[in-house]
Amino acid sequence: MAKKALFVVGGWLGHTPFESAALFAQLLREAGYEVEISDTLDTYLDAEKLRGQDLIVPTWTMDKISDEQSKGLLDAIAGGVGVGGWHGTMGDSFRDNVNYQFMVGGQWVAHPGNIIDYTVNITRADHAIMQGLADFRMHSEQYYMHVDPSNEVLATTTFSGEPVQWINGTVMPVVWTRKWGAARVFYCSLGHVVSDFDVPEAREIVRRGLLWASR
């Protein structure tokens, strides 16, 4: 029986959520998954549907989530449904919902300099998500995040201090995994817009991360 993946897509359109979701939905289909794409947070109220998934990919920047919707999502994950995502479509969702942020393991707070050149450093080359990959360059937003110290960090980036001098030399997680109940959680802060995934390493990290997180 094919594995099942559910993308729940919406929120701020500046992050190209539908286009990025379509990219990774196709990559999961190529890996043999049955994929559904929903454009309503009410999908999280359907406990039976969520329990039937192997992977949930929340792709929804900012906005509001109700207590009932949030509970439905987090209960499904705690029960063993894997979850994975990228950039602000997972790491800057529902700013007033700390339970969601607790599950993700981090929350966006800034991208100093906006679109800049920076390096992503692989720190766990032995991990299945990172095997065979080397450090690489990005031209995009460099996410500054508040992060959970319990995360297993797989890649980092170092801030130069331009234009925010007091963070010069700060090493920030870019890719991490963690647990939430019985489930695996994967997050990657790359992917401001879908064209960022033209960088082969960025696309491959997210592809592998979603497969890794899947039940």
For the chain, domain boundaries: 4-213
- Beta strands 34-38 and 55-61, pairing class: unpaired
Which pair of structure tokens corresponds to residue 123?
A: 């720190």
Element (DSSP H or E) covering residue 156 = strand 152-158
9 token code pair: 């897509």
DSSP 3-state of 54: coil
User: Of the candidates 203, 215, 214, 206, which has an alpha carbon nearest to the alpha carbon of residue 90?
Assistant: 206
Q: Which two tokens stand for residue 136?
A: 């690489």
Q: Per-residue pLDDT tens, the chain, 215 aa: give them.
A: 899 999 999 999 999 999 999 999 999 999 999 999 999 999 999 999 999 999 999 999 999 999 999 999 999 999 999 999 999 999 999 999 999 999 999 999 999 999 999 999 999 999 999 999 999 999 999 999 999 999 999 999 999 999 999 999 999 999 999 999 999 999 999 999 999 999 999 999 999 999 999 99
Residues 6+ apart with CB under 8 A from 189: 86, 87, 91, 106, 108, 143, 145, 173, 174, 175
Which pLDDT value is given to residue 136? Answer: 98
Predicted local confidence at residue 56, as pLDDT: 99
Give residue 77's pLDDT.
98
**Predicted pLDDT of residue 47:** 98
Choose which CATH entry (3.40.190.10, 3.40.50.880, 3.10.450.50, 3.40.470.10) describes domain 4-213. Answer: 3.40.50.880
79 neighbors 184 (Cβ within 8 angstroms): no
In this predicted structure, what is the pLDDT of residue 90? 98
Residue-level pLDDT at 206:
99
Quote the pLDDT of residue 52.
98
For residue 18, the model assigns a pLDDT of 98
Q: How is residue 11 written in tokens? A: 């929120």
